[in-house]
């Protein structure tokens, strides 16, 4: 009996971003709007967060709708047909079904079926997690082109009357197509987690609690259920701001430096810094900690878009490239960090 020679996938040396597309929903929420719900002022919010407006999606716009718009734009930008996709990855924490995934439906809508498709739950690090996986899939020869979408409809999971996080959040989507390249286009991923801090950014309660709370209110009669504040039943986001700030700046500056070192790139070699858009003070302090020189363009899309979790990096990258097209082809450092806690960073060649 002869043993066959087991074939393995053929490795590829280089990968890059082939195309980028975004979707910004059109409901604009101003700081004045926010001040109807919490005792604050436009000046206070700008000073503490940098945010002037956030874009939010209407009731009829779903996570999959936003992902589709961004994905179609990214495919067009890359000049790739959906049928060429070897995998569809969707990073989101706001697709309102535990199963089936948003990615499988997105792949079908795009015409990418039967491409493998799955969601990634890595909150504000979700986009960088997606890039890490897409890069690995293309490198390993498991897929040729991979679609990565970061999409969130955070407005479905906020409580307008609480003041730890809801007023920061916006909706949106950003997508990229990752594929083979003649030269290096994506540096090594530096990514990780620290679940010991899972309560630093969290949901108020679980889906099982929703069932318990609804049944408990209902047992007191329909009026009791109607009277129960929506926020007491529906789970929404909370964060411990100062703890997150400290971790985001000082721990994440180290991760960002590791991503630079792993890529063999110095801060002065960068043309852009595209961090997760969490808070302008985190961005400014990170710039300081990393010692980024003046010529490095820093993405500050948060001013207009708010914090859009997994969507924030591609949205911010898209704005930067629209405003400064000559950055295209240069090196950008991107870093995502958030609920988990989780983080991910890479140096990439801007599309």
Partner 1 sequence: MASNEEILAGLAEIVNEETGLAPESVELDKSFTDDLDIDSISMMTIVVNAEEKFGVRIPDEEVKNLKTVGDAVDFIASAQS
Q: So which residues are the catalytic ones? A: 124, 276, 307
Q: State yes or no: residue 281 binds partner 1 (CB under 8 A).
A: yes
Least CB distance from residue 224 to partner 1, whole Å? 36
Instruction: Please report which helix (H) or strand (E) contains residue 323, including its range.
Output: helix 312-323
* CB of 131 closer than 8 Å to CB of 74: no
Q: State yes or no: residue 249 binds partner 1 (CB under 8 A).
A: yes
Residue from 241, 261, 269, 330 in contact with partner 1 (CB under 8 A): 241
Q: Given the complex with partner 1, which of 49 and 62 has the nearer CB atom?
A: 49
Q: Which stretch binds partner 1 (CB under 8 A): 155-163, 241-249, 268-276, 321-329?
A: 241-249
How far is Cα 189 from Cα 181, in angstroms, rounded to an integer?
17
Determine the number of helices (DSSP H) and then strands (DSSP E) in the chain. Answer: 13, 14
Q: Which stretch binds partner 1 (CB under 8 A): 174-182, 236-244, 313-321, 333-341?
A: 236-244
Q: State yes or no: residue 163 binds partner 1 (CB under 8 A).
A: no
Which two tokens mark 69? 């718009």
Nearest of 16, 315, 340 to residue 150 by alpha carbon: 315
CA distances from 12 to 65, 177, 245 (A): 33, 16, 39
Which two tokens mark 150? 């970061």
Q: State yes or no: residue 285 binds partner 1 (CB under 8 A).
A: yes
Least CB distance from residue 255 to partner 1, whole Å? 16
Q: State yes or no: residue 245 binds partner 1 (CB under 8 A).
A: yes
Least CB distance from residue 257 to partner 1, whole Å? 16
Which two tokens mark 64? 């999959």
Q: State yes or no: residue 324 binds partner 1 (CB under 8 A).
A: no
Classify residue 132 by its DSSP letter.
H
Q: State yes or no: residue 234 binds partner 1 (CB under 8 A).
A: no
Which two tokens mark 312? 């924030």
Q: State yes or no: residue 250 binds partner 1 (CB under 8 A).
A: yes
- In order, the DSSP letters of 54-104 are EEE--TT--HHHHHHHHHHHHHHHHT--GGGEEEEEEE-S--S-SSS-HHH
Q: How many residues bind partner 1 (CB under 8 A)?
A: 12
Residue from 7, 242, 322, 325 in contact with partner 1 (CB under 8 A): 242
Q: State yes or no: residue 222 binds partner 1 (CB under 8 A).
A: no
**Using CB under 8 A as the criterion, which residues of the chain lie in contact with partner 1 when the complex forms?**
48, 240-243, 245-246, 249-250, 279, 281, 285
């Amino acid at each position: 009996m002869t043993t066959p020679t087991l074939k393995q996938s053929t490795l590829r040396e280089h990968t890059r971003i082939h195309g980028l597309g975004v979707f910004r929903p059109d409901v604009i929420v101003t700081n004045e709007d926010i001040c109807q719900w919490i005792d604050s002022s436009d000046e206070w919010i700008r000073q503490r967060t940098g945010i002037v407006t956030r874009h939010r999606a209407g009731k009829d716009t779903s996570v999959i709708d936003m992902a589709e718009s961004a994905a179609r734009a990214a495919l067009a930008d890359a000049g790739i047909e959906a049928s060429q996709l070897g995998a569809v990855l969707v990073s989101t924490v706001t697709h309102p079904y535990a199963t089936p995934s948003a990615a499988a439906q997105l792949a079908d809508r795009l015409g990418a079926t039967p491409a493998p498709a799955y969601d990634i739950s890595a909150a504000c690090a979700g986009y960088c997690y997606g890039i890490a996986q897409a890069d690995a899939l293309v490198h390993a020869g498991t897929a040729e082109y991979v679609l990565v979408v970061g999409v969130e409809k955070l407005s479905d999971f906020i409580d307008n009357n609480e003041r730890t996080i809801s007023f920061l959040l916006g909706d949106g989507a950003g997508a990229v197509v990752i594929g083979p390249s003649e030269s290096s286009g994506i540096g090594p991923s530096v990514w990780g987690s620290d679940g010991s801090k899972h309560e630093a950014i969290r949901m108020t309660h679980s889906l099982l609690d929703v069932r318990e709370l609804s049944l408990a209110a209902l047992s007191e009669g329909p009026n009791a259920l109607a009277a129960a504040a929506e926020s007491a039943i529906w789970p929404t986001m909370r964060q411990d701001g100062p703890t997150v700030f400290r971790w985001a700046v000082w721990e994440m500056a180290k991760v960002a430096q590791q991503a630079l070192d792993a890529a063999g790139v110095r801060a002065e070699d960068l043309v852009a810094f595209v961090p997760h858009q969490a808070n302008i003070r985190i961005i400014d302090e990170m710039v300081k900690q990393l010692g980024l020189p003046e010529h490095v363009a820093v993405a500050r899309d948060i001013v207009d878009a708010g914090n859009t979790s997994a969507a924030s990096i591609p949205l911010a990258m898209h704005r930067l490239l629209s405003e400064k097209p000559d950055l295209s082809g240069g090196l950008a450092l991107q870093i995502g960090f958030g609920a988990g806690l989780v983080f991910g960073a890479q140096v990439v060649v801007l599309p």
